[in-house]
Amino acid sequence: MTGIPAENTIQNTIENDTALPTSSNTIDASSGIQECVQEAMETYFGNLDGQSTNELYKMVVSEVEQPLLRVVLKHTRGNQTRAAEILGINRGTLRKKLKMYDLG
């Protein structure tokens, strides 16, 4: 990421957002996540202050995917087979992503 302080990353915005869905409001989970990501992206572009950016898609996927994997693994108590089922991905793909992010 180019010149944006760590406290302004998308991951920090997502992890610290109190508007994220909880068990009491899971019906609106999808729209809550979308709003959170949109707000984080608007903040990110606002903080660029004229600087250019590149590989934005890769950065966003990485920033969202890491906490997603951590939370799902916590939810499944480390059961990778169940985590892969919840995520809708192959267990081998999950293991590759865990290794890539040093979460395994």
pLDDT of residue 40: 93
Long-range contacts of 9-14 (CB under 8 A, 24+ apart): 9/44, 9/63, 10/37, 10/40, 10/41, 10/44, 10/59, 10/60, 10/63, 10/64, 11/63, 11/64, 11/66, 11/67, 13/39, 13/40, 13/43, 14/40, 14/63, 14/64, 14/67
* pTM flag (> 0.85): no
Spell out, as residue ranges, where the chain has pLDDT lower than 50: 1-8, 14, 17-21
pLDDT of residue 2: 44
